[in-house]
Structure 1
């Protein structure tokens, strides 16, 4: 995942219209550190054209607040410049991947 530090940078990536996943995490979040490699692996395997970015919400609070993210981990998925899915803390990775299959195939 590419590290994001500014709202302008991530907004420019979303505005390309491509599939974008943003993973909001924090340094001292044990759930974040366990979930991140699973998400990276499954997204890379199932959705190779989806771009993945990570925002350290504890360090870059302005980015997290811009996307109204107040709990971590939170995952946002964008298709065609629009937020399609917002998933927080408790999630099934397999169900999350399944929910993204159809829209990904429609937009890519």
Structure 2
């Protein structure tokens, strides 16, 4: 995952219209640390055209608050510049990927 550190950068990436996943995490968040490689692996295996990014919500509070992210980890997925899915805290990685497969396939065809 590529790190993002400004609101302008995040908005620029979303505005491309391409599928984007933004992972909001924290430096001292053990759940964030454990979940991140699982999400990355499953996205790369099943949904390889989704670009993945990470925002350290505890450092870049302006970005987190702009997207109404008040707990970590939180994952936002955008298709066609619109927020499609939001998941937080207790995430089933397998269910999360399954829920993205259909819109991903429709969008990428």
Q: What TM-score bracket applies, with the shorter chain setting the length?
A: over 0.9
Report what 2:32 is aligned to: 32
Report what 1:49 is aligned to: 49
Report what 1:71 is aligned to: 71
Q: How many equivalent pairs are there?
A: 108
* Structure 1 residue 39: Cα displacement: 0.2
**1:34-90 alpha-carbon deviations (Å, 9 max, x no partner):** 000000000011111100000000100001001010000000000001000000000
- Unpaired segments ≥5 residues, structure 1: none
SS at match of 2:68: coil
Distance 2:106 2:14 in 1: 17
* Structure 1 residue 101: Cα displacement: 0.1
Distance 2:107 2:10 in 1: 19
Tell me the TM-score normalised to structure 2 length: 0.98
* Structure 1 residue 23: Cα displacement: 0.1
